[in-house]
């Protein structure tokens, strides 16, 4: 078998730093890396080989430039502005009401004083908008959410669901913060099931108005950002009811969006017929004023209907370019996917900060050591590497995947291509669910990796975890979103066998489904060399094989159970299988994007570092689901063992460039703000904080 590790011949014995590291590692880590047969000296030289292999030089500046791209300058403007404004920095201990007012002042100052106008980029340059959102979230996650409510949700609903008359009337006020607003979709009884909303908007042809009503407690609009304190307007989602001359009296035209003023523009008092209550203190994001709205026969002009996909004339006639309620509903929600794109992108930003804090601390902290020798850095322990290095690899993978999503979203906004709209809708659902779920788990791992010091609020894991936790729920519950992905996969599966055209994200299914239907190759199932295991084709084929296998098997199960349980019962019976399928597909997309990003990197040293990180991401994921591959003999037992050992070895190598990899994120100390992660004299920062 070809050795996966470099020959030690030519190692410079004068490198004292390398020798000291070898001595430490030989006593503490002793990972069992694969050995070629008939090489009696290989065992003694393993760690020497590892040290040599790990001497990868990384040009941090080049890698950082590749990661941050063309919007680095606008992000630096945001970060520098808040760094130079201590009065706008969120203190560690702050009351809910004070936090809300500070958050509003931060957003107004960003727009009016710093001159950064995010709303102008929502449509014309979404990538720039999301770059600003990422930087703002580094200042305070509550501020990012408040900005998202104002511009992505309230402002985005006007731009995406309205027509020219709405843009002309509201754009400037939304842009300059004169018109703070809300996005009133969620109700007490309905969140994910938007078509089940109960709020009604009944047209009155006598007065040319819509009457907005909350028919019962379950229809109260709930968790509405900006509603409790600051909002003056709300985009209210309600069933549009038109009067008819039949026995029913009204006709339900489906859920539409309406602009409803909720507070007096001069006095800021609640307007007649509108009832507003505060949702109170939350687990996190207490800088956002979430409230509940009830409407008592609130009248609004007919022009306040956001009428891009459906309109009502003066005489009460309904017109739409889309033929059915379902198609209008799909078009409406399709225009609102920007929120999911933003959450996936912002979640990666939170993960970066948490990873930086945990890894910097782990590079600094020393515990235990050989007798009469210095203590060992905790990141030199294999168990710590196992916690943090695959997470760092995933952070890089998610960075490129969400950038890819932003690019596709920006293209969709320009072209309005129907196929691309469907692709972005499913991809944004899957990445939002997968990335936010992973980040939520990783925040706890990072806290634990920093021991007791990770529990200090000043080191930020608590606030990051609390603020981020809701990312798994709003803009679509993660479990529901993954079901959307699974549903789209099954639709594509059906198209494949009917000879239809697959959308771009699913193109791989045509080839990999054919591979699945044939038997695994008994030769390739046993290849164990490093070149083979680090070959992007092997890695991507393995990911896609798993997805194809899950897709074919769940399709068979659904067909079987539908005969006795019906479609709904069959879906529920196979639900866990469907969720696994969706996650597998998203992992395939993430890996494909990562591989392409590695290949496109222009700097050789950065490309080598990214290749190493990408290989760790791929092999660690394959190993985590090795049972799937073994069950069908996709990999032989010895190959499975080789995958495991190589992934451990790659984790060790990534550890040796971990500092450069986190530095390439280019997130300064005044953004991470954790004393245990300061790049210089961290312990002094920490002791000063507690008063020494």
Question: Of 475, 587, 648, 660, which is the active-site residue?
Answer: 475
Measured distance CA(46)–CA(601) in Å, rounded: 31
Rounded to whole angstroms, what are the CA distances from 423 to 26, 153, 220, 658? Answer: 50, 21, 33, 35
Measured distance CA(384)–CA(603) in Å, rounded: 30
* Helix then strand then coil, % of the chain, to nearest 5: 60, 10, 30
Q: Answer yes or no: are the C-beta atoms of 460 and 371 closer than 8 Å.
A: no
186 a known binding residue? yes
Q: Residue 184 — φ and ψ, nearest 5°?
A: -100, 80
DSSP characters over 528-564: --HHHHT-HHHHHHHHHHHHHHHHHHHHHHHHHHHHH
Query: Is residue 475 flagged as an active site residue?
Result: yes
Rounded to whole angstroms, what are the CA distances from 610 to 71, 360, 594? Answer: 21, 19, 9
Rounded to whole angstroms, what are the CA distances from 663 to 61, 289, 366, 385, 677? Answer: 9, 35, 21, 18, 12
CB-neighbour burial class of residue 589 (10 A; exposed 0-12, middle 13-18, buried 19+): buried
Run of H or E residues at 131 = helix 126-139
225 a known binding residue? yes
Measured distance CA(364)–CA(301) in Å, rounded: 63
Structure-block tokens of residue 273: 């017929």
Q: Is 254 left (phi over 0), alpha (psi -120 to 50) or beta?
A: left
Of the candidates 360, 389, 383, 358, the one whose C-alpha atom is nearest the C-alpha of residue 28 is 383
Length of the chain: 692
CB-neighbour burial class of residue 152 (10 A; exposed 0-12, middle 13-18, buried 19+): buried
- Residue numbers in the known binding site for FAD are 186, 225
Return the active site residues: 475
């Amino acid at each position: 078998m070809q050795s996966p590790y470099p020959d030690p011949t030519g190692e410079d014995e004068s490198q004292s730093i390398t020798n000291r590291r070898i001595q430490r590692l030989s006593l503490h880590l002793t990972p069992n890396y694969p050995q070629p047969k008939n090489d009696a000296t290989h065992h003694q030289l393993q760690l020497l080989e590892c040290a040599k292999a790990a001497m990868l030089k990384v040009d941090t500046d080049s890698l950082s430039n590749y990661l941050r791209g063309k919007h680095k300058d606008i992000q630096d403007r945001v970060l520098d502005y808040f760094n130079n404004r201590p009065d706008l920095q969120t203190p560690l201990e702050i009351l809910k009401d004070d936090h809300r007012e500070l958050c509003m002042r931060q957003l107004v100052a960003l727009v009016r004083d710093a001159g950064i106008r995010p709303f102008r980029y929502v449509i014309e340059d979404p990538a720039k908008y999301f770059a600003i959102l990422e930087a703002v979230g580094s200042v305070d996650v509550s501020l990012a959410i408040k900005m998202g409510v104002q511009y992505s949700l309230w402002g985005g609903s006007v731009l995406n669901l309205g027509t020219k008359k709405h843009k002309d009337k509201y754009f400037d006020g939304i842009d300059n913060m004169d018109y703070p607003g809300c996005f009133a979709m969620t109700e007490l009884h309905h969140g994910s099931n938007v078509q089940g909303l109960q709020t009604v908007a009944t047209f009155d042809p006598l007065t040319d108005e819509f009457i907005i009503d909350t028919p019962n407690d379950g229809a109260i609009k709930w968790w509405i950002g900006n509603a409790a304190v600051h909002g003056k307007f709300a985009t209210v989602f309600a069933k549009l009811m038109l009067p008819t001359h039949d026995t029913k009296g009204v006709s339900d035209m489906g859920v539409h969006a309406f602009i409803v003023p909720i507070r007096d523009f001069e006095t800021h008092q609640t307007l007649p017929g509108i009832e507003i209550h505060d949702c109170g203190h939350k687990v996190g994001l207490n800088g956002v004023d979430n409230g509940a709205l009830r409407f008592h026969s609130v009248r609004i002009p007919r022009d306040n209907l956001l009428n891009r996909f459906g309109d009502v004339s003066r005489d009460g006639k309904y017109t739409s370019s889309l033929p059915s309620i379902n198609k209008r509903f799909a078009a409406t929600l399709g225009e609102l996917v920007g929120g999911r794109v933003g959450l996936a992108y912002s979640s990666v930003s939170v993960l970066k900060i948490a990873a930086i804090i945990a890894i910097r601390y782990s590079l600094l902290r020393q515990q235990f050591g050989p007798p009469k020798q210095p203590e060992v850095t905790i990141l030199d322990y294999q168990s710590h590497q196992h916690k943090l290095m695959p997470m760092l690899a995933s952070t890089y993978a998610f960075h490129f995947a969400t950038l890819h999503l932003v690019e596709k979203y920006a293209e969709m906004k320009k072209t309005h291509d129907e196929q691309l709209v469907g692709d972005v809708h499913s991809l944004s659902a899957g990445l939002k669910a997968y990335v936010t779920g992973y980040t939520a788990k990783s925040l706890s791992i990072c806290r634990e990796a920093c021991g007791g010091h990770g529990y200090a609020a000043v080191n930020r894991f608590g606030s990051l975890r609390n603020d981020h936790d809701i990312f798994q729920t709003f803009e679509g519950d993660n479990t529901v979103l993954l079901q959307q992905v699974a549903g789209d996969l099954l639709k594509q599966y059906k198209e494949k066998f009917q000879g239809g055209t697959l959308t771009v994200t699913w193109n791989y299914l045509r080839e990999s489904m054919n591979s699945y239907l044939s038997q695994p190759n008994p030769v390739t199932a046993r290849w164990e060399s490093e070149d083979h295991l680090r070959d992007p084709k092997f890695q991507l084929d393995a990911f896609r094989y798993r997805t194809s296998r899950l897709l074919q098997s769940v399709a068979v199960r659904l067909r079987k159970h539908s005969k006795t349980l019906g479609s709904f019962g069959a879906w529920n019976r196979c639900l866990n299988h469907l969720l696994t399928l969706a996650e597998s597909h998203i992992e395939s997309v993430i890996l494909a994007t990562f591989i392409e990003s590695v290949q496109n990197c222009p700097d050789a040293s950065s490309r080598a570092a990214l290749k190493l990180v990408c290989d760790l991401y791929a092999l660690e994921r394959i190993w985590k689901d090795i049972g799937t591959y073994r069950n069908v003999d996709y990999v032989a037992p010895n190959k499975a063992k080789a995958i495991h050992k190589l992934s451990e070895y790659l984790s060790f190598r990534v550890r040796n460039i971990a500092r450069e990899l986190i530095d390439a994120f280019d997130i300064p100390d005044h953004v991470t703000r954790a004393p245990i992660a300061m790049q210089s004299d961290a312990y002094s920062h920490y002791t000063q904080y507690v008063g020494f």
